[in-house]
Amino acid sequence: FASTLLSVYKVQTDSQRILVSPGISQSNFREGLGKCMAIMKQRPENTPRMTRHNPRAVPGTKSVLLKNGIILDGVGGVVHGDLLMKNGIIEKFGKEIDEGEADITIDVRGKFISPGIVDMHSHAGVYSWPYLRGSMDINELTDPITPFVRAIDSINPSDP
């Protein structure tokens, strides 16, 4: 890399040839390399917060262990195993979590578990077919924000 930086390039201008050195001096290169090395030494440790708390958790809610699921970890991985929820948060997931750690154990028998995946916006199944203006039930326009509205409430099972 350094030999490439310090090599000399030939540039053709008009009818004469001149030698042009690269756009960075050896001292600037060394200074930049030194800064990169200093930054590399200061890598922060990525540690999870051990004092996680869900403010919406209801006191007294029982802990739940989902056994034998296909867990989507949210970063592209898949784990065949168990997921333990306590106090409104996912405490851990992995293989063979002890059933004694939970108040309730549910064998999900190979079903998918997708913790933290929430559909923030969906119109699936809410358009009638054929589409008619009089049967449109797609948007709730009573307030600027309507967190209480659910898509399931607008699905018409009588639609063909």
111, pLDDT greater than 50? yes
* Mean pLDDT on 37-53: 70
Measured from the Cβ of residue 85, the count of other Cβ atoms closer than 10 Å reads 21
What local confidence, expressed as pLDDT, does residue 126 receive?
67
At 3, is the pLDDT very low, low, confident or very high (cuts 50, 70, 90)? very low
What residue segments make up the domains of the chain, in order of their start?
Answer: 2-41, 64-113, 120-160
CA–CA gap between residue 31 and residue 38 (Å, rounded): 11
pLDDT digits 0-9 by tens, 4-15: 444 444 444 444
- Contact residues for 125 (Cβ-Cβ < 8 A; gap 6+): 151, 155
What local confidence, expressed as pLDDT, does residue 100 receive?
96
Measured from the Cβ of residue 72, the count of other Cβ atoms closer than 10 Å reads 16
What local confidence, expressed as pLDDT, does residue 6 receive?
40
CA–CA gap between residue 21 and residue 2 (Å, rounded): 13
What local confidence, expressed as pLDDT, does residue 38 receive?
83
Name the more confident of 145 and 114.
Answer: 114
pLDDT digits 0-9 by tens, 125-147: 666 666 666 666 666 666 667 66
Residue 25, CA distances (Å) to 4, 39, 82, 85 in order: 12, 21, 57, 58
pTM, entire model: 0.46
Here the tokens at position 111 are 């079903």
**Which architecture characterizes domain 64-113 according to CATH?**
Roll (2.30)
Q: Tell the residue number behind the tokens 């750690």, with chain if given.
A: 101
